[in-house]
Amino acid sequence: MEMCKIIGCATRRAMQMIRSRHGLTQESLEKKVCDQLLCLKTAYFDDSIDPDYTSDFARVGYLFRYVLTRAHIMKYALKEMEELSRVIQGDGGSGTCKICCLGGGPGSEILGIAKFIEDLSLPNTIHLEIVSLDKIEAWKNEFKIICAEIESDYRERYGSSQTKWPVTLRFACHSIDLLNVTDCDDLQGIPQQDIFIISYLISELWCGNGSRRDCFHRSFKKIVDCLSCGSYFLFIDRTEPKELQEYIKQLIRDSGLKQVTHKSKVDGRWDSNESKDLHLSDLVKAFGKPHMKWSAFFVLAKKLIPF
Ligand SMILES: C[S@@+](CC[C@H](N)C(=O)[O-])C[C@H]1O[C@@H](n2cnc3c(N)ncnc32)[C@H](O)[C@@H]1O
């Protein structure tokens, strides 16, 4: 699978949908997406501004510009963390892996995981059961589109029988504010997960005076307390500021999790075998290049049996 192809098709499909929803010309749609991309970029560089994903134009912009990089980062984490990669491959032999993304947005993580599994060329199919929890309900549109594009690519290349696919996807998206501890009461209905992925959520809590982090601390502890032992927690976020890394490690300790490993990578880049020009040229012309270089900090933790 070429992730560029998936994101190219997904972005075009999402644009088509919002173009007809808003009754816009292609030109005015592109202009609105460019405006929102500028707002997102500003927010990512300025911790006093909150990124706003409520607009259709902002989400489609994110889908094009940021999802590929995030998917590459996810794939990198799996390559580097053998223990995690074994869990993703359905460790116990069931071939099923249950994943919950906190602040899952459009599901960049799932694209990276699907690509990682496909590249392993396993003899069996891996069944991914995904739950995404995000405060923006509308992200489920982009999530659905990405999953549909992955499935359509598999159908094209492996045929219609899912037993021949590298991965099958079952997913659900729930709208939950992870800063609201009472919102997290409902999570008890979410069954045991093998892996929780918290990718670029913590950096979004950096805006303001720290009260958001305190709220998240309480919600996160509640989620951890509800689970039985064995679940893994993968945190992925930016490398700066250093306090962000310290916060994640403290969160892990305070929630009673055991840190398994951590890693930083500062000179990450996309795989060179992705044909960006082939699949994205029209979108690059409209919106500029997608993000290609990345730096990230990774921490893997696990809920162990208490002594
Ligand atoms: C930078 S995006 C990351 C999305 C995805 N995980 C990725 O790596 O591409 C941050 C996500 O966190 C979500 N988010 C921010 N604050 C949240 C909150 N209080 N509760 C739930 N989700 C939140 C945003 O809506 C957004 O989808």
Q: Taking the domains of the chain in order of start, what are their residue ranges?
A: 3-302
Q: How far is the CA of 137 from the centre of ligand 1 (A)?
A: 11
For residue 180, the ligand 1 atom closest to its alpha carbon is 19
Q: How far is the CA of 50 from the centre of ligand 1 (A)?
A: 11
- Domain 3-302 falls under CATH 3.40.50.150: yes
HSE, side-chain direction, 13 A CA sphere, residue 307: 1
Would you state the pLDDT for residue 93?
64
Q: How far is the CA of 69 from the centre of ligand 1 (A)?
A: 15
135 lines ligand 1 (CB under 6 A): yes
Candidate of 36, 52, 56, 201 to mutate for ligand 1, largest count of ligand atoms within 8 Å of Cβ: 201
For residue 108, the ligand 1 atom closest to its alpha carbon is 9
Would you state the pLDDT for residue 246?
95
Which pTM value belongs to this model? 0.96
Q: How far is the CA of 53 from the centre of ligand 1 (A)?
A: 9
What are the average pLDDT values for consecutive 10-residue runs of the chain, which has 307 residues? Answer: 96 97 96 98 91 97 97 97 92 83 98 96 95 97 98 98 96 94 78 93 87 93 90 96 94 96 93 78 95 95 84
200 lines ligand 1 (CB under 6 A): yes
For residue 197, the ligand 1 atom closest to its alpha carbon is 6
Alpha carbon nearest to ligand 1 atom 27, residue: 105
